[in-house]
Structure 1
Amino acid sequence: MAAHRRTRQRTAGAGPARTAAAIALAGATAATGLGGTAHAAPRPAPDKVAADVNRLYREAEAATEKYNGAREKADSAQRRLSALQDEAARRRDRLNSARNALGTVAAAQYRTGGLDPALRLALSEDPDGYLEGAALAERAGTRRQAEVGRVREQLREIEQLRGAARVEVKELTSRRAELGRHKKTVNGKLTEARRLLSGLTSGQRAAFTGGPSTDVGEAATSQTAPNPRAAQAVSYVRGKLGSPYVWGATGPDAFDCSGLVQAAYRSAGVYVPRTTYAQIDSGRRVPRSALLPGDLVFFYPGITHVGLYIGDGRMIHAPNPSAPVRVAPIDEMPFAGATRVV
């Protein structure tokens, strides 16, 4: 989301702050004895509203990228935790099998272990056979000792897995709390933007949300992509023109800015990180003068917005909740850098 014009946004209520301001103004008019019918507070100038809404969109997008990063880390922690739990379950199954085997041997030994070995030798009808069996039993005892040692080692390994799982649970809990904070920030910014837009007339909102066409034909370019994968990424975003912006979305029917870029290269079999601040480091940096279709173009000092360059100074990007995926000039926002992924 950036400081650029968008399509029409649904209106919302003016909110308690504006109501309170109107009441306060009416009270002040009565107190000064001006008389006459009380008037509502004047609407802010459309240019001021547009500037404030664009600022809120930029702040919301910065929070969205932080949310995306936290969600990626939370998902990773969840995968690690699941893998640890699966491995611990396998180890417990092996441990239970080993314990059962030892229990069977111990029970048999208890049943036959009542006679002194010398007496059993004296009573044996086959002394040579008994001595051979005793030697085998001794070796079996050594093996059982090794089995006991393995059981103890398995117990230690399971406890280590449990410790690692506790660490992952703590990490996951922390990431989920972080997700909640960023989500609250994003929703707060977008709610305030909707409130400001609701104060504009329909004509003013149309002027604010107008912008470059999303027509596929007008997105044609004289430049060509440097390789088939970049060409596929460009083809993908062309096919998504008009798709709605939804923060945190990666397609196939809705996107935020970094989600659109990630989905475009995923369609070409190329992994691109989830967040703008990771995407800018995912390939080779290229100067603005050397841009080619398929390059990732970034905006604002905090690297909070990204689009996919399509040539001739234009990109396709997911702007903000007021506008769908569309074509826009790259000089529409403060340019921060570009990366060639493939």
Structure 2
Amino acid sequence: MGSHRRLAPTGSDRGATAVAGFLSAAAAVLGAAVPATAAPHDDTRAEVDRLHTEAEQATEAYNEAAERTDTLREQVSAVQDRIARQQGRINTMRDALGSLAGAQYRSGGLDPSVALLLSADPDDYLDKAAALDRIGAHQAGELRRLQHALRHLAQDRAEAGRTLERLNKSLRTVAAHKKTVERKLAEARRLLNSLSESEREADRASRSGRADLPDLSGTAAASGRAAAALAAAQSALGKPYVWGANGPSGFDCSGLTQWSYAQAGVALPRTSQAQAGAGQRVPLDQARPGDLVAYRDDASHIGMYAGNGQVIHAPYPGAPVRYDPVGMMPVSSVTRP
């Protein structure tokens, strides 16, 4: 019966087997080293960016509600002051009417014909009777004025009640937006803390802008106030991002631009959306230092053009006021206050 023993491998067979084994091992190593999908920390960074964007949108909504709350608070205070003044006038009018009524009672309690008979001086009686008529007419006028004042007082009190109701609603809105911002920022911090130290360092390096002064020569500001506003913004370089803050120790994006223009004597609205509409729109390629550059379709971020393709802005929590390229994200508008 024929033998079926396995033939020993030749030299060339052994070489081929070794090469095949090496290639298989190398493929396994390369496959492990180069994943087909993005690295986990890239996904984390993308999620952090999304949370920062949503937090900034909620921050601008918070700023708007807070500004509305301040306005309503001032309106309530003004109405309350007006009510207090009216109440004082009403009290004075009531006191005066009481005095007039007492005088009329004391002088006019008798029947006129009896008073005339008892009077030693008819001319004196007639003078007193004329005075009583005048007092009666004056009293009637005072009563009408009192009624008018009471109607106004009631209207003002009703207005104060409505304004207080709007104020309380606005306060609830502010609190809701504040919770949203804090929740999203806390989640972003949690995700960043989940990265390794080397990944966090790489993330910080990739996000860092310029705190130094870039070359801004070649373009002049559109006006003296725009130049003054830019100088103010530059003085804030390195200050921290603080959501809801408008200086001078910390800023959010619209807080920085509002504060900077305030130093130049220009009052800007509080929110990035309102600031984007507070002036003349100009094309991006015609932007000049001091112009306001709004970002994203909803204008939820804003910075100030500094010249030579750079903006100065308060980027997001954890990043100080700094310079970044104007094209760092999609530009929605450029406004010249």
Asked if TM exceeds 0.5, the reply is yes
Report Cα offsets for 1:86-135 as digits up to 9, x if no partner: 00000000100110111112122223333111111111111122112211
Question: Equivalents in 2 of 1:219, 1:289: separation in Å?
Answer: 18
1:301 aligned to 284, 297, 302, which one? 297
Of 278, 291, 299, the residue aligned with 2:274 is: 278
User: What one-letter code is carried by the residue in structure 1 that aligns with 2:82?
Assistant: E
Is the contact made by 1:219 and 1:327 (CA closer than 8 Å) also made in structure 2?
no
- Paired position in structure 1 for 2:94: 99
Residue identity opposite 2:277 in structure 1: D
Q: Distance in 2 between matches of 1:337 and 1:204?
A: 34
CA distance in 1, matches of 2:196, 2:210: 22
Residue of structure 1 equivalent to 2:70? 75
Count of residues paired in the alignment = 298
CA RMSD of aligned residues (A): 1.3
Paired with 1:258 and 1:219, the residues of 2 have a C-alpha distance of 24
TM-score (norm 1): 0.85
Distance 1:260 1:78 in 2: 24
Using the alignment, how far apart are the partners of 1:57 and 1:207 within structure 2?
Answer: 18
What is the aligned partner in structure 2 of residue 131 from structure 1? 126
CA distance in 2, matches of 1:303, 1:235: 24
Q: Which stretch of structure 1 is more off in the superposition, 112-121 or 270-279?
A: 112-121
CA distance in 1, matches of 2:98, 2:215: 75
Using the TM superposition, give the Cα deviation of residue 212 of structure 1 relative to its aligned residue in structure 2, in angstroms: 1.9
**Corresponding residue SS for 2:201:** helix
What amino acid is the match of 2:168? T
Structure 1's unaligned 5+ residue stretches are 1-42
Q: Name 1:155's counterpart in structure 2.
A: 150
Task: Work out whether residues 216 and 308 of structure 2, in 8 Å CA contact, stay in contact via their aligned partners in 1.
Answer: no
Counterpart residue identity of residue 329, structure 1: P
Identity of matched residues, % = 45
Partners of 1:206 and 1:221 in 2: how far apart?
33
* Paired position in structure 2 for 1:20: none
Q: Which has the higher contact order (CA 8 A, sep 6+)?
A: 1
Q: Which residue pairs with 1:240 in the alignment?
A: 236
Match of 2:224 in 1: 228
Partners in 2 of 1:172 and 1:221 — Cα distance? 48
Identify unmatched segments of 5+ residues in structure 2.
1-37
Q: Partners in 2 of 1:81 and 1:123 — Cα distance? A: 60
Preserved CA contact (<8 Å) 2:252 2:316: yes
Counterpart for residue 327 of structure 2: 331
Partner of 1:261: 257
One-letter amino acid of the structure 2 residue matched with residue 243 of structure 1: K
8 Å Cα contact 1:301-1:336 kept in structure 2: yes
